[in-house]
Copies of this chain bind each other. A is one copy, B any other.
Amino acid sequence: MQGQNTQRDALFMKAALAQAKRALALKEVPIGCVIVNRDGLIIGRGYNRRNTDKSTLSHAEITAIRRASKVAGDWRLEGCVLYCTLEPCQMCAGAIVQARIDRVVIGALSPKSGCGGTLLNILQNENFNHQVALTSGVMEKESQALLHTFFRELRERNRAEKQARIRAV
């Protein structure tokens, strides 16, 4: 049973990673998310488009929740599992609790804004009316590799732009 769950988690995390790659293609921080319902069907997908859309609400998880609610026809996403390549921030962790999602599977942890236990554990706060089951580190290396690629390319772009400015003076 545990083995089946692990296999299943890796499968859906791959789908979340495919979303993260769409963010990378837009030069956005590569973060992806999918939401899977009781029947094992993906009912919501999302990837980070914060700069492209000029909106804080364009985080991967928020987009996936919006779409999943539309498919489910309900703001309650009970019975659903959310897969995200990076640990959710305070907003996304809050949205997951509000949407009453059963379980969250995380790729890499986020030291800067992680609210699935790193800076704060919003997903499992006993004061709230809902707590979320949590699995971390699923395809962690693949998630981190995407993030490293993004930040390396960002540094290279910044360096090239700086040199272009110096040449223009």
Using CB atoms and an 8 Å cutoff, list the residues of chain A in contact with chain B.
Answer: 50-51, 53-59, 62, 65-66, 69-70, 73-75, 77, 89-95, 97-99, 112-113, 115, 119-120, 122, 125, 127-129
Contact = CB atoms under 8 A, between A and B. Distances in A.
A56 B98 contact: yes
A32 B44 CA distance: 28
The complex is assembled from copies of this chain, and their number is 2
Given A50-B75, A75-B50, A129-B112, A90 B122 contact: yes
Contact of A75 (B51, B93, B94, B97): B51
A51 B22 CA distance: 32
B55 A70 contact: yes
A47 to B, nearest CB: 15
A102 to B, nearest CB: 14
Contacts of A50: 75
Given A122-B122, A127-B120, A129-B112, A75 B56 contact: yes
Contact of A98 (B69, B73, B91, B129): B91
A69 B57 contact: yes
A125 B54 CA distance: 25
